[in-house]
Every structure is written in structure tokens, then in C-alpha cells.
Amino acid sequence: MKMTRKLVPTGIAAAEIDGMTIHSFLGEQRNSGKPRTIKPGDSKLEKEWRSVEYVLIDEMSMVGLTLLAKFNRIISTAKHVDPQVPFGGVNIIFFGDYLQYRPVYDAPLHTDFSLPSKKKSSKLSTEKEIQQRVVRCLILQINCVVKLTQHMRTEDLRYLQLLDRLRHGQCNYDDYELLQTRVVGQPSIESLHDSPWNKAPILVFRNEVRTQLNNKAAIHNATQIGHPPMICVAQDTCNGKPVEDPILVKRLLALSDSKTEHLPGLLPFVPGMPVILTQNIATELGLINGINGIFRQLVYHEESVSTESLSEIFPNNTQYIRRPIYALIEITKSKIECKLEDLQPKLIPIPLVEQTFRVDVADILPKDKKPKSNQKTILSIKRSALPLVPAYCITTHKSQGQTLNKVVIDLKLPNETDDIAAVYVPLSRVKRLVDLAILRPFDYKVLLMKPNKSQVAEMERLDQLYTNTQRRFSEWFQ
């Protein structure tokens, strides 16, 4: 029985440490507003937690107060302890860096509720805010802090010094000029068509941009090997019946996979294409959301192939496959030790999965097709598709926690971005400056972005606790 669990907020980070996402361990769907139904006597829940004494939570910058409140509630129920005992008496060890990405749609653990809020304040706190404040109080009870001072990823001393200054918004003009030498078009990187940059992942800020670049890369690579692009088409149903309206079909297929429980409507495949698994298939075998692989072969019903266009993005000779069966993916980090029958080692068949998502058709249909005011506009769509996305390009948010051999990044930030993580995370994914390419010129001011007030206050608090910890346990710091 495992006494220790390793949990993280994202699938890719989970794959890096051989752990699980917090949502998966709690048995809750991502983006679901429905909490897991729990009550004392839930034997499955009690069995999951019976032997657990330690929980390691990595990438704590991405963990939100609301998520941690759910976590606290579920552990307390599973362990049959007084709800006032933090985390059901389980020892929680947090790892991470508050200067990296914050949680999406949640308040970060370092939230300072004494600071003025950007949101309209009401006199009465909501239940959600009360829970967040309670968990923030739990975070403030942490009294043992160890600061890891040896940088294990970056091997380039000059670059490491630059990153240290970047964390505080104190980069100098020499740092800026050094990074300018890595802009594509400079003598060091003449073109992204050249090796090794033609195989390096590109980091971007938006899911929509990520999808567009992945599609373009797949089309280009298919053309290079003389194959027509091959696209797997998701099957969508509503109330148990296939969606048949041709306009609605195309609009649903065009939705970003970030809005469809991470099942893409149109999934391009090219032999040798890097992919990311987007669902947990078999956690005990390492086939978890976020793990990387290489696409090798698609098995499908041949009569389901059509050249009838479903998107203007893809060329006229594209083959659309409506009834895929499974994709053969080479996953070197899988824990499958025996060779599957008739397959090469580490070649794993990934099957179709089903997920349900909700969509407001008023947002996606053209004006002349929008429902009348008295008609229902929110539809519940069940999608059957392969749980994979191309990985030529990934978002900077998804790159957190990874060490990349080579990477292409963009430092021209979206206008509304004021988060230091948008610069620090992509720049710190590589071990050396020579492993970095920057897509285009950028402004010096992006290197001067500073942590916000709550980040600074929390880091100062943790520094003081680290000093206290060194005094309390001096024998461990000699």
C-alpha cells in the first residue's frame, strides 16, 4: 500500500514526476462545476486514502485555493477526522515556485485578501470566498520551509544569472542584448527550417494559436513526405442522436479542444508526429494525461474515409477519417514492460474515449441560424474521439514543469499580460542559452516585469520561515 502520493495540477507535470493530477485523484472532471459526491462510509474513498500519510503537491503556483479546499474536504471525510484538523491529519509537502503560472479560474495560494480586489466587492462574502479564506489560513500555518538553492535545470552560468535577475524584474541591457542574439534571423539561428530547430517545439500563449500552428505543421510535414493530410473526425451526438445540421457539425468540429474536454474535433496525423495524450487511459501503466509520444499508425474502417471538406484550413486532397478505431503511439515512458502481441515494444494502441461538454450554440452559429429567443441555446454534446493532440506547438502554460532539449519561444506578449510567468516560464525551459530560439524581436520592457504585491509578500514570508527552519533544524543544514 502506498503511504505517499505525488500530485500536481496539470497532466504534463504529472507525467514528468510519475504522479497524478489532483483532479484525477479526487475523482473529479476538469472544468466541471459539480463536486464529487462524498459522504462518510464511502468505501472506495476510504480505501483510496486508508494508507496515505504523505502527499507531495508539486507545481504549487498552479494550485488554486478553491481546488485545495475541495482537497481538504475530501481528505477529512475519507480519514474520518474532525474537519478542523488540516487535511485530515495527512502530512502535505508543497513544492514549487510562486513566480511561475497561476491557476486558471482560481485564486493562487499566495492570495492576500487584505489587498484591494479588482473585482466589485460586495458586503457579504460568497461561500467560495469563505472557503478560499479558510484554505489561505491553512497555508499560513505552514511553519517549515526549505529553500532549494541549487539550480538543477540550467547549466549555463551566464544564462542562470540572467534568469535570476529576470525573477525580480531587474534584467539589464546586457541581458537584453544577449537574448537578442537568439532571435531567428541572427547568425546563430538563420532559419527554423534548419536542424535542430525544425524539430523543436514552439511555445505560444493561446490555445487557438497552438492549434493553428499544429495544423500548419502537420500539413507541411504531410506534403514533405508526399502524403495527403489525414484527419480524424470526432463524432458528436446530442440527446443520443448524431448532430446532423451541416453548419452546426462544422462549428462544433472547429471549437478549440480547450472547450471540448480536450478532445479535438479535427485531429491531423502524420507518421512521426509528436503527440500528447489528453486523457488518463491507464494511470497504473503510465498512460496518463500529459504524457508525450510519437504517432506511428492509425487503424480505421476504410469505408469511412472521405475527401468531402470539413474545414477550409486543410487542402482539397485531405482525407477525413470518420471511424477511427485506435492510434498506435510510441510512448517511451509507459510502464508496459511486456511486448504487446504483434506490436513493437512501447507501441501502445490508444482507443477512442467519450467526453461530454456544454456549448452555447448562440455563440457559434451565424446570425441567420441563431435560435429564436425562446429556444434553448445551451446544448450538451457527447464527443467520441482519440484523446490526442499534436505537439509541434504547445502553450507556455503546458510547458511548465518540463525541461526541453531545444525550444522556440515568442516574447511578444499578449497586450493584457502582466504576469512575470509569461516571460520566466518559457525562458527557463532549457538548460543552456544555445538551446533557445526566439521567434521575433521583442521589447526590452518585457524583461523588467515585476512580481505582484502578493507574490513579493509571500516570498518574503517564506524566506523568513526558511531562516527560522535553519535555526530549528541546524543539524540538517551543516
d(CA 448, CA 168): 8
SS3 238: strand
Q: What is the pTM of this model?
A: 0.86
Segment 339-377, tens digit of pLDDT: 667 777 788 999 999 999 999 888 777 766 666 665 668
In this structure, is residue 471 part of a structural domain? no
- Whether 16 and 131 map to the same domain: the answer is yes
- Whether 212 and 359 map to the same domain: the answer is yes
Of the residues 390, 414, 442, the one at which a domain ends: 390
In this structure, is residue 95 part of a structural domain? yes
d(CA 382, CA 231): 20
In this structure, is residue 465 part of a structural domain? no
d(CA 205, CA 9): 19
CA dist list (Å): 101 to 88, 96, 381: 28, 10, 31
Q: What is the CATH number of the domain that holds 111?
A: 3.40.50
- Whether 268 and 403 map to the same domain: the answer is no
Is residue 421 exposed (0-12), middle (13-18) or buried (19+ Cβ within 10 Å)? buried
Residue 295 pLDDT more than 90?
A: yes
Segment 406-416, tens digit of pLDDT: 999 999 998 87
In this structure, is residue 71 part of a structural domain? yes
- Whether 354 and 232 map to the same domain: the answer is yes
- Whether 352 and 369 map to the same domain: the answer is yes
Residue 35: per-residue pLDDT: 56
d(CA 302, CA 318): 15
In this structure, is residue 151 part of a structural domain? no
- Whether 161 and 283 map to the same domain: the answer is no
Segment 195-232, tens digit of pLDDT: 999 999 999 999 999 999 999 999 999 999 999 999 99
Give the domain extent around 100: 4-142
- Whether 377 and 405 map to the same domain: the answer is no
Residue 286 pLDDT more than 90?
A: no
- Whether 354 and 213 map to the same domain: the answer is yes
Question: First vs last Cα of the chain: how many Å apart?
Answer: 35
Query: Which cell numbers hold the place of 236?
Result: 458528436
Total domains, the chain: 3
Residue 466 pLDDT more than 80?
A: yes
C-alpha triplet 150, 155, 159: angle, nearest 5° = 100
- Whether 79 and 137 map to the same domain: the answer is yes
Residue 283 pLDDT more than 80?
A: no
Residue 447: per-residue pLDDT: 96
- Whether 110 and 162 map to the same domain: the answer is no
Of the residues 342, 367, 390, the one at which a domain ends: 390
In this structure, is residue 461 part of a structural domain? no
d(CA 131, CA 65): 8
- Whether 294 and 246 map to the same domain: the answer is yes
- Whether 179 and 135 map to the same domain: the answer is no
In this structure, is residue 478 part of a structural domain? no
In this structure, is residue 222 part of a structural domain? yes
